[in-house]
Structure 1
Amino acid sequence: MEQTVSVNADPVQHSDMNGRFTQWRNWVGFWLLGLCNNFAYVVMLSAAHDILKKQESENATANTPSTLTVDFQGGNSSNGSRYDCNPVSTAAVLLADILPTLVIKLFAPFVIHKLPYGFRVLFCVIMAATSFLLVSLSSAVWISILGVIFASISSGLGELSFLSLTAFFSRDVLAGWGSGTGGAGVAGALLYSGLTQVGLSPQNTLLIVLVVPFVMLISYFFLLVPPPSLPQWRNRETEYVAVVSEERRQLMDGSEEGEQEKSTPGPLTFKEKLYVMKGLLKFVVPLGLVYFAEYFINQGLMELLYFPNFFLSHAEQYRWYQTLYQFGVLLSRSSLCCVKIRKLWALSFLQVVNAVLLLFAVRYQFLPSAWLVFAVVLYEGLLGGAAYVNTFYFISKETEDREREFAMAAASVGDSLGIALAGLAAFPVHRYFCHL
């Protein structure tokens, strides 16, 4: 009798171990996908600026010093401005990095389902690798800009695709994805800064980080354990919906059979997608507002928060602002396993308060030390990261099975729209303060 029990128990235990191992692989896979997808975006904000600055300087020297050199070298001490700022806001690089992403996120969710996931990932890998090569090997400004655009295309298409992909897995992979995207900010900044600090040129540094797109390739094709319902290489939009619905019901936590509605076979129509987008506004608007306030601070105000009597130089203060912000984002994007925040509007309100506080701090200079700014930007990163992961967690939880894949992709426009609007708003604000 005892022998029979042990024989019957072994398959169950073995199945449970396999399930845990698969869950672990998928979590790690999505963590690496989040890291690799956002890595190019983060690095380009720094690397493209360095290379464009070098090329612009060479052009100024070679062409018309009397006009170009004055405009370019107006840089640090900005015509007697008390803010010691560059007349050209850092928002210029941000806009080149975010606008292609925004365009993709606005239109791709309506047609991207026709392209299988395997082809999407290959395209993102090729775009990311090409962006690093173009920016590192370019001999003209327009080639570097093209490289930044390719990085933006890769990041934007990758984000909406991988967020859609989470609909085919258990909901805990969202925590892995969110943590990985947070890690990209810290890893990208530290790796780029570290390699250039030890003497490598920005060009050689970008050639070294070419390994990152290939890590994405390995993570997707060899680490993830995709379910049979995933449309990997074929467009099966008319036949996989029913299978997906049943599989998702078993995977998603907290769902009860009595509360599930029957899935309608077939893909969503254009009218149904518009209806889903209308329902997503309660998530997209607060997310966009958080990111608008966040990047208005980062690209419009951070450079102006300079304390001349502090032990760090202006460049070092700015670098630490960015670093602490990225650490805040990493911590909060990794917090989904511990805490979940449904009140997204509260996060938006607190982030707007941060932006208003720092705007007045720039104008009236009432903050006594950079230490206070360090605390505020760390807190800013915590709010932004929390808004991101909780938005997509609750979209995944509260959206019907049939609509979830599209909803996850469509909602990703919120952060990009907020970033783009912040970049545009940062230009006049930055110019106003630099001309005081």
Structure 2
Amino acid sequence: MMENSVNSDPAGGSGTPGTGPHNDARGPRWRNWTGFWLLGLCNNFAYVVMLSAAHDILQTQESQNATTPNATFPAGNSSSSSSSRYDCNPVSTAAVLLADILPTLVIKLAAPFVIHKMPYGVRVLLCSFMAATSFLLVSFSSSVWMSILGVIFASMSSGLGELSFLSLTVYFSREVLGGWGSGTGGAGVLGALVYSGLTQLGLSPQKTLLLMLLIPFIMVLSYFFLLVAPPAVPQWTSRDTEYSAVSSEDRQQLVDGPEEEEQDKPAPVTGDRTTGPLTLTEKLDVIKGLLRFVFPLGLVYFAEYFINQGLMELLYFPTFFLSHAEQYRWYQTLYQVGVLVSRSSLCCVKIRKLWFLSLLQVVNAVVLLSAVQYQFLPSAWLVFVVVLYEGLLGGAAYVNTFYFISKETADRQREFAMAAASVGDSLGIAAAGLAAFPVHSHFCSL
């Protein structure tokens, strides 16, 4: 495992980065890895839960139309007024996906250019507040629009958190990227599994969501009390310029360990400048250089979320022992299991051929689209296998993308590059949500 370059007190105090070969005690190293794991878990938890609850969120409107304005989520079998053979909700679950991703996309497009003015401590508190608000809004929702508003708060929390924590990794040993990736995968499994499991056991979705208010609290504890952050991290005071808090030499010591491969040493993207804040021209040049990472990542996520929110609801087997809502929940859960496994694989295998992962994911989407059209799959068990494999591909694409961006970007540009590249998955997800609407309308009209 790579050596951490932060000299810190094992009890939690921060020291001076890179002062000697034995300055990184095992305690701070594992605290940082575990801290980023928990931050990844907490950051993506609300986002995942909202997608797992998408079918129930849309069913709420039908329950309210049939009963009273105070009706809450249905917890049992789904029923639809649709006469379609696909047992469709009137509105595609892609509506929840778009509410869950569009605010994230807006934040990721704009924030990398200005987010350095907001200290990391303030960002964490803001993310926690928005995540808690999302759970409260959806759990006490009396209409779909109120639920969608809660989903939007979850999206804003996740988007701000992702670009912030990816940027934060440049102040630590590169191994914390493995912790972050594994934690985001863990969020998928725990979020989907907890929601599916508790509702399967009979707990109402409303009470389930209220229990999840513990997650934003864990995020705050993980950041402020578990991480051993170097003094260079702008905790409470804003910066007028980016990257000025850490010199190029110190940043190299912070992110590189003794096991780093020499052939992957980054080369500057623009000009001869090695110090000072990035200019707008340099930022645009960095973004241009990131396209070889952003496009494959976006394609992977387009294919998998087209499956998740455009096709999963339509892959319904009436004779299976699970109801329609239950089938949908477990599709989401198994997909997240695949994501967890592959996002935790960085310590074992690294995949540089990102386009290959993209093409395999597109094949998955084509196969399942054909299965919806021609209904040739005999059982939900086969869908379970495919969505597990789908999650493996998506998680591998994510964690390898940011690992190689971290290795192949110059020190001065790395913090900006990590934040800017995070838009790739969101672009793919947003495009998938838009594409899912006509597909849903077509099949539900049959």
The aligned residue for residue 376 of structure 2 is 366
For 1:360 and 1:54, how far apart are their aligned partners in 2? 30
Alpha-carbon spacing, 1:179–1:308, altered in 2? closer, same or farther (3 Å)? same
Correspondence for 1:66? none
SS, match of residue 210 in structure 2: helix
2:115 is aligned with 1:133: no
Contact 2:123 2:164 in 1 (8 A): yes
Deviations 1:183-210 (A, max 9, x none): 1011111222333344433222222211
Map residues 100-139 of structure 1 onto 2, 5 A cutoff: 100-139=103-142
| Aligned residue number for residue 27 of structure 2 | 21
Task: Please give the residue correspondences for 1:346-361 in structure 2 after superposition, counting only pairs within 5 Å.
Answer: 346-361=356-371
Q: Structure 1 residues 416 and 243 mapped into 2: Cα distance closer, same or farther (>3 Å)? A: closer
Partner of 1:9: none
Q: Among 185, 190, 194, which residue is 2:188 paired with?
A: 185
- Tell me how far apart the structure 2 counterparts of residues 138 and 242 of structure 1 sit (CA, whole Å): 44
Q: Distance in 2 between matches of 1:47 and 1:381?
A: 18
- From the CA coordinates, give the structure whose radius of gyration is larger: 1
- Pick the aligned partner of 1:418 from 393, 409, 428: 428
- After superposition, residues 248-397 of structure 1 pair within 5 angstroms as 248-251=251-254, 252-253=256-257, 254=260, 264-397=274-407
2:86 corresponds in structure 1 to 83
Q: In terms of mean alpha carbon deviation, does 54-63 or 372-381 score higher?
A: 54-63
Aligned partners of 2:300 and 2:198: how far apart in 1?
A: 32
Q: Which residue number corresponds to residue 230 of structure 2?
A: 227
230 and 205 in structure 1: CA distance in 2 versus 1, 3 angstrom threshold:
same
- After TM superposition, the score normalised by the length of structure 1 is 0.88
1:163 paired with 2:166, answer yes
Closer, same or farther in 2 for the Cα pair 1:129/1:263, shift >3 Å?
farther
Q: Partner amino acid for 2:419?
A: A
Aligned twin of 2:153: 150
Q: Quick check: 2:242–2:278 contact (8 Å CA) kept in 1?
A: no
Gaps of 5+ in 1: 1-13, 64-73
Q: Is the 8 A contact 1:125 1:154 kept in 2?
A: yes
Q: Give the match's secondary structure for 2:246.
A: helix
Q: Deviations over 1:373-422 (max 9, x none)?
A: 22211111000000000000000000000100010011111111111110
Q: Which of 96, 99, 124 is matched with 1:96 structurally?
A: 99
Residue number in structure 1 paired with 2:445: 435
Q: Against the structure 1 CA distance between its residues 50 and 401, is the aligned structure 2 distance closer, same or farther, given a 3 Å change threshold?
A: same
Amino acid at match of 2:229: P
SS at 1:78's partner residue? coil
Tell me, yes or no, if structure 1 residue 409 matches structure 2 residue 412. Answer: no
Does the 8 Å contact 1:116/1:233 carry over to 2? yes
Shift in Å at residue 350 of structure 1?
0.5
Letter in 2 for 1:160: L
**Distance across 1 between alignment mates of 2:437 and 2:414:** 37
Relative to structure 1, the CA distance from residue 326 to residue 247 in structure 2 (aligned partners, 3 Å threshold; closer, same or farther) is same
Instruction: Name the counterpart of 1:69.
Output: none
Q: Please list the CA deviations of residues 326-374 of structure 1 after superposition, one character each: whole Å capped at 9, or x if unmatched.
A: 1101100000000000000000000001111111122122333333222
Aligned to 2:3: none
- Does the CA contact (< 8 Å) of 1:321 and 1:377 recur in 2? yes
Task: Tell me if structure 2 keeps the 8 A contact 1:229–1:244.
Answer: no
| Structure 1 residues 201 and 307, CA gap change in structure 2 (3 angstroms) | closer
CA contact (8 A) 1:27 1:172 kept: yes
Q: How many residue pairs are counted as aligned between the two chains?
A: 413
In structure 2, the CA distance between the partners of 1:108 and 1:17, relative to structure 1 (3 Å rule), is: closer
Which structure carries more helix by proportion? 1
Match of 2:80, as an amino acid?
Answer: N
Given that 2:301 and 2:429 are in contact with CA atoms closer than 8 Å, whether structure 1 keeps it comes out as yes
For the 8 Å contact 2:171–2:233, the answer to whether it is kept is yes
The answer to whether 1:43 aligns with 2:53 is no
